Structure 1
Amino acid sequence: GKTYEVPFYQTVDGGELQYDCVLPYEKWMGRAPVDLSLLCEREGCCKVEPLPGIFLCSDVKLRPPYVPSVQPVALIPSVAERLAEVEKVLFPMAEYEPYSDSMTVWRDRGALKVYFPLDKSDLRRDYRNNDVTLGRIVDILRQIYADDRSDVGKILIVGFASPEGPLGRNTRLAGARAEVLKEYVNSYLELPDSLYEVANGGEAWGELRDRVEESTFDCRDEMLDIIDHTADLGRREWLLRRLDGGEPFKDLLRSVFSDQRNSGYMRVYYTSEPDYNAIKINRAQGMIAEGDFDGAVSLLRPIREDKRCLNTLATAYYRLGDKATALDLFKQAAAMGDKVAIQNLENIENDY
């Protein structure tokens, strides 16, 4: 349904006229085998004479021009995000809030706890599981700092003491235990003071109540009633000591208070940059789909050191008609194991 005209050239008798004519591929051409003939005519000043036609070929099966494939790139989590999946001590900075008495940090099952002997604030690596815990604390922080896309936003350390003994002494002990843990971490990493929030949780009555409620103590309900309805902490402890001849309090000493003689609980809040390169690559693929090949090249060229962008960048160049640059980039991507680039390169080199 279309006519393609050959530009006029003057020739002398017996001369030759050579020309190329390129017909764009259209969808109908691929539906069935195509025959190709050239109809010829000679046009003078006064008349048009038909000439014998030229039969070129028959039963030609045409395929559309090859369009390289691209594949969306998955966003790679930062080190902090990856660690947070297994280290429950890590929280995104967006969830940070200053410590308050209502914060039930002891319920963080993944919290890192460092234990102290009775009535002591000396940090001993050889006490209970302290050596492993202290090593984990430092290792987590070091991994975050080593990643360009991760950072520490805040380190919250809450010190506690068990409710046994004088309130004033326990409060001072809880604060000292939290401070000594901060000093330990800082001896390895030398972090600015602004990153730390060292809070004194005092006597760990909230945790004690949770432990009693989960227990099977004979006087469980009576203990909970004392804890819930006695505001004076000194009297609260006195009543627990006197309950049922002191046996329930001995149970607390054996099974609960020993675990509360710790520095408290540690939360590390982190900041994390998105995987901007992956976001740009996926956006460039959308631009290619919309025909904005120049825009895709401009977006990806600054990040071409990221091997994930090579196949998409090559595709943009290929669609622009710069086959040489495209092939070079496809080869680089294929050499790095990009399966989509390997298939693209194979199709192009085999004259798809």
Structure 2
Amino acid sequence: MASMKSWVIENKDNGFDGLVYKDAQIPKVGDNEVLVKLQAASLNYRDLIIPKGKYPFATKFPVVPGSDGAGEVVEVGSKVTGLKKGDKVATLFNQGHQYGAIDLPAAGTGLGGVIDGSLRQYGVFAETGLVKSANNLSAIENSTLPCAALTSWNALYGLKPLKPGQVVLVQGTGGVSLFGLQFAKAAGAIVIATTSSAQKAEKLKKLGADHVINYKEDLNWGETAKKLTPEGAGVDHILEVGGSGTLTQSFKAIKFEGVISIIGFLGGVDPKTQPGVLDTLGHICTVRGVYVGSRALMQDMIRAIEANDIHPVVDEKVFSLDQAREAYEYMWGQNHFGKLAIKVN
């Protein structure tokens, strides 16, 4: 079987109409490369905005979409030493980010943006662009780890590692926030979560959130969150996914010397309403942008997932590979809870 099914984004001018499902050749393996039979993929917000031309990092077209994939090694190159046929693997988001801080060259190696990604039946990857999967998770669960889980782990452990008894605030019920909740609870932290509905609040409590605030009912939720912390001192770590609107409240909630990790801008960016850089001095805190994480950090995370038997929250609706376009529409409509997965093989 020399051909396979694959999705391709032809260009960034046609939105989801630019997603094309077609036959492609199964790629050949180089000396340091590995052929993976992909079994599952999961979508991120960035996957939706790449075909819409709104992604702020490096892209090149045409490209196979999807940063997140999991599968089984079916062939290895002659110089591959760390992986063998039959190994279960997951993809690394930035293929060049091996350890330590991200640099400019590594930031240009995003899977599904610059390098062909996971929405295909088979993929060839550099050995260093893969990690061994978590052995307590299914392929679908493992496929949710490369972007959302690792971003969340980096937010909590990449700069100032989270300690037991500290307070973490997560916003909403997207993948990064739910992983943050699970990682924080496993570490013995107190978790405050925000959401917009009573139904989602119940789900957050079931996952272990200690406090849930409805941000539509409580517009000043930042001050409310601060009051919920020990001695009203504030939150140690905030996973900031909302953008200009939520950042004002995050500053109200943060503790002195706390860390606000900027992960997304789901609520949009408005220079008129967002706080300025000097607010970091007024609140004596660190604000950092997080761009996923390194291979070494991902291996640390997978060890923690196995040790604590953490299972990702995956939306009950799982799509097949030929339904990827429908999956994009479903997620764009914000119909999902947790990670949205696509079964490949």
TM-score, normalised via structure 1 length: 0.22
Normalized per residue, which structure has more helix?
A: 1
TM-score, normalised via structure 2 length: 0.22
Normalized per residue, which structure has more strand?
A: 2
